[in-house]
Amino acid sequence: MRATAESTLGAAQNARDTAVHTHARTDAVHSELQSLRNDIQRLQPATPPPDEHQVLTQLAVLRGTVEALRADLTAAATPDPPTPPTEAAAEETHEPAAVPDDFDDLLTLAAGIAYAHIICHRDHWDFLVAQSSRGQHFRLPTGVKEDHGLIQAEISGRTLIAALDALRAAQQDLAATPGTQKLARRIYERIGTALHKVDTDNADAHHQPGNDCPPVTRIIIDDRPPAELTAGN
């Protein structure tokens, strides 16, 4: 689409330049015609009348030149229609990934948790922080740990809201590459899977004296082969 817009703007600029040049040529021909008429009027009293056929021929030639220039001017003032995008350009345009419609539910669930424990590769973590850090609710977690390339961090529910918002926007961004959209979708899904396991009905009971608090929400982005396949190798 950008190439089509640039092509259209270039064609419009060329049309304007041609129009200016044609205007100048038309003005020059009009000046020549007027000068010829003045010369004829000035010489008429002192010299014999010029050959009528010759004068008419010259006037016809000049008139034809003026009409041709007017036609060129009209054609130059009419911009060429935009060139339709080629098949290659159409193939480069990709639709945004379909975003699940549970966005509002996930925001509500994220708003209700104190924090979540996330485990992912440092590259996933860098992507998540880069996408979310522009959000109003993002807060960079403290005490982030790294071991063998895996990041372990505790992120607040508020930061999860910023992450969900940013990841959803990345999936819908037409300018984003397919890889960026898929990465954003995968992390978004993992956060959603973890949040859907939250028990929203017994939050008070979890902190009653004598009750063991259940583990906090865990978000794991680390797909691995099945355990039996690993053991067999």
**The domain boundary residue, chosen from 77, 95, 113:** 77
**Is 216 found in the same domain as 136?**
yes
pTM: 0.55
Total domains present in the chain? 2
Q: Can you tell me the mean pLDDT for 10-18? A: 62
Whether 61 is covered by a domain: the verdict is: yes
The three-state secondary structure class of 116 is strand
Question: Across the beta sheet with 217-221, what order do the strands follow?
Answer: 145-147, 150-156, 115-121, 217-221
Number of C-beta neighbours around residue 165 at 10 A: 21
Lowest-pLDDT range of 137-151, 160-174, 216-230: 216-230
Could you read off the pLDDT of 193-219 as tens digits, one per residue?
999 998 776 666 565 666 666 778 999
- Residue 130 and residue 44 in one domain: no
Range of the domain at 53: 2-77
**Are 150 and 58 contained in the same domain?**
no
60 shares its domain with 138: no
Does 129 lie in the same domain as 70?
A: no
- Written as one letter, the residue type at 201 is D
Q: Which of 43, 62, 77 finishes a domain?
A: 77
